[in-house]
Amino acid sequence: MEVTLNLENTSSKDISIMVDAFRASTSITLALGKFNEVIPTFTPEKAKKLAKEKNGILAGERMGKALEGFDMGNSPVEINELNTKLKTLILTTSNGTRILENMKSTVLIGCFINAKAVAKKSLILAKENNYNHIDVVMAGWKGNFAIEDFLASGEILYWIQKELCENHTIGEDFDISEYAQSAILASRDYKKLKEVIYNTKSSKRLKKLGYEKDIELSLKKNINNNVAIYNEGVLKLFK
Amino acid sequence: MEVTLNLENTSSKDISIMVDAFRASTSITLALGKFNEVIPTFTPEKAKKLAKEKNGILAGERMGKALEGFDMGNSPVEINELNTKLKTLILTTSNGTRILENMKSTVLIGCFINAKAVAKKSLILAKENNYNHIDVVMAGWKGNFAIEDFLASGEILYWIQKELCENHTIGEDFDISEYAQSAILASRDYKKLKEVIYNTKSSKRLKKLGYEKDIELSLKKNINNNVAIYNEGVLKLFK
C-alpha cells in the first residue's frame, strides 16, 4: 500500500481523497446527512440550470461570497441548519468542486469533521478493489498551498497510518510518503493547529464576510461519519 | 519582512538559507570551525583539480558514498574529528553544493546544529542591508521533498518567527508564508521528529553505508554558532 499527499492534482489511479477544509469538503460531508445527492458544478450558470432541472437547492460562492440569486452560500453552518424536503443540492465553489473534474481515480471527500471516517472507508474501498495507492489531495487556493488543507490532510493521514499499523491484513507492506508524514507531524498539536489556522488570510477573509462560525465548525475533528464518494459527476454517501 | 519556504529554487533576491540537513549543511557548518574556507564544487573532477591548486583537503560523496581518491566522504563526524593544518576544504556532494550555483541572493547555510544562530544572523544581515525577504530553501533529494530538510527548516523558521515577534525593530510588519508555518508546526515535537527521520530511506541508506553517527550529529539542535555565507563560489564564516 502506498499513501501519498499532493496539491491540486492526484498521483493516484486508485483512490484520491479530496480535501478542501474551508469549506467545500465540510459542506458536502454535512449536506449528505440531508440530501440524497450533491452535484458539484463548475460554473454558476450551469448550477442555476441544473437546480431548475433537478428541483434542487442552489448553493455556492466565489471568493468566499454567496452568489446572487442562489439559495445560500457555501456555508456548512447554513447547510446544517437547513430545513427542506428537496433531495438534491447543487454546489459551485472556487476551489473544491473545480479540481474534482480532473481526477481519474475513485474520489472520496475528506476534512477535519470526517477525518477518521474517510480514512477508514478509504482502506475498506482499497481492500475491496485490490487498490494499492491512496492519495490525499489538497485543494489549495488558486494553485497554492493552503495550511488548513495541509493540516486536515495530516489528520486524515494520521488515521490511515494508525489503521495500517494496527490492522496488518489491509496493507502488509505500506509506505507513507515523507510529505504525507510531515503533514501528520504538523497536525498533532490541535491547540497550536487551531491558533495557526485562525490567523491565516483565508480565516481573516471568512471572518470579514461574517462566516466565523463556519471556521469553528470546519475545525471540529471527527464529529461526523459521512463520507462522500464522487461518481459520474455526482456525490453520494459511501456506504 | 517576508519569510518563505521553498524546495530547490529560491524565490528571494535578498537572503536564502540553504538547508541540506543530511549532511552537506552540517559538514560545512562544522568545517568552518577548522578551515578558513570551504569551496563547494559541482563535479568530482573539478574538486580534485582545485584541491591540488589550493593545497586543500578533498571531501565529497555521490549517493552518500565517499569518492575514490578523496581524503574523506561528506561526513560531519569525520570532518569534526579531522586534525590538519591545511586551511581549505574542497567539498562536492549530490544535492547541497549543486543548488548553491543557481542562487542569485545572498546565501547562508542552515541545519539543525546551527538553526538558532543562522536564524539570528539572517535577520541581522537583513537589517544591515535593508533586505525584506528571507527564503529558507530545502535542498531535497533529486528534486524531491526530503523530510529532514523540511523539519530542519521548521526549526530555523521557528527561531526567525520568535525573533520577529520579540524584537519589533527588525521587521515591523512581517508575514510568514503558510508553507513555512506548516514546517514550524511539524518541527515542534523533537522526540517524534527524530523517530520519523530515523526511519526514512535517507537514514536507512546512511546506516547501511556505516554513517549512523552522522545522523545523530546532524539531528542535534543548536549546538553550534557557525554560520557559513556563500560569496563568489566560496563559503566563509559570517561574522
> Cβ of B179 and A147 within 8 Å?
yes
Q: How many CB pairs under 8 A join A and B?
A: 54
Q: What ipTM was assigned to the predicted interfaces of this complex?
A: 0.93
Q: How far is CA A136 from CA A20, A31, A121, A152, B77, in A?
A: 11, 21, 13, 10, 38
SS3 percent helix, strand, coil of chain B, rounded to 5, is 40, 20, 35
* Contact yes or no for B24/B176 (Cβ under 8 A): no
How many whole angstroms separate alpha carbon B68 and alpha carbon B60? 9
Residue whose C-alpha is closest to residue B225's, from B7, B33, B10: B33
Q: Is A150 an 8 Å CB contact of chain B? A: yes
Separation between Cα atoms, residue B147 and residue A177, nearest integer Å: 9
Query: Selecting from 3.30.70.1520, 3.40.50.1220, 1.10.3720.10, 3.90.1560.10, what CATH number does the domain A2-21+104-237 have?
Result: 3.90.1560.10
What is the reported pLDDT for B100?
86
What DSSP state is assigned to residue B183?
A: H
Residue A97 predicted with pLDDT over 80: no
Residue B131 pLDDT: 96
The residue assigned the cell 527561531 is B159
Identify the residue with better confidence: A101 or B135.
B135
Burial of B53 (0-12, 13-18, 19+ CB in 10 A): exposed
Determine the Cα–Cα distance for residues B131 and B14; give it in Å rounded to an integer.
6
C-alpha cell at B221: 539542535
Cis omega (within 30 of 0) for bond into B62: no
Distance of CA B209 to the CA centre of its chain: 21
Q: Which residues of chain B have pLDDT under 50?
A: none
Instruction: Could you list the beta-strand ranges (E) of chain A.
Output: 2-7, 15-19, 37-40, 57-62, 65-66, 88-92, 106-110, 133-138, 175-176, 228-231, 234-237
Cα–Cα dist A83/B142, whole Å: 54
Cα of A191 to nearest chain B Cα, Å:
11
Instruction: Summarize pLDDT for B151-191 with one digit per residue, the tens.
Output: 999 999 999 999 999 987 666 789 999 999 999 999 999 99
Would you state the cell numbers that stand for residue A38, as one nine-digit string? 450533491
Residue from B17, B36, B88 nearest B59 by CA: B88
Assigned architecture for domain B2-22+104-230: Alpha-Beta Complex (3.90)
Q: Give me the residue label for grid cell 454535512.
A: A30
Are residues A186 and B189, on separate chains, in Cβ contact within 8 Å?
A: no
State how far the Cα of A58 lies from the Cα of A92, in Å rounded to an integer: 9
Cell 523530510 belongs to: B147
Residues 171-230 of A with CB under 8 A from B: 178-179, 181-183, 185-189, 192-193, 196, 200
Which of B2, B150, B178 is the best mutation test for A, with the most CBs of A within 10 A? B178
Is B80 in the A-facing interface, judged by CB distances under 8 Å?
A: no
CA distance B3 to chain A (A): 14
Gap between the terminal Cα atoms of chain A:
22
φ, ψ at B202 (rounded to 5°): -60, -45
- CB-based contacts of B234: which residues, under 8 Å, 6+ apart? B37, B38, B39
Cα distance between residue A199 and residue A192, in whole Å: 11
Sign of CA dihedral A62, A65, A70, A72: positive
Residue of A nearest to B146 (CA): A178
C-alpha cell of residue A90: 447543487
Nine-digit cell string for A92 = 459551485
d(CA A18, CA A24): 10
Sign of CA dihedral A16, A20, A21, A24: negative
Question: Residue ranges of the domains in chain B?
Answer: 2-22+104-230, 28-96
For A88, phi then psi, to 5°, come to -125, 135
Q: Closest Cα to residue B91, out of B50, B56, B58, B52?
A: B58
What pLDDT digit, counting tens, does each position of A123-162 carry? 999 999 999 999 999 999 888 999 999 999 999 999 999 9
In B, minimum Cα distance to A184 occurs at B186
Task: Check residue A168 and give its pLDDT.
Answer: 72
Banded pLDDT at A171 (limits 50, 70, 90): low
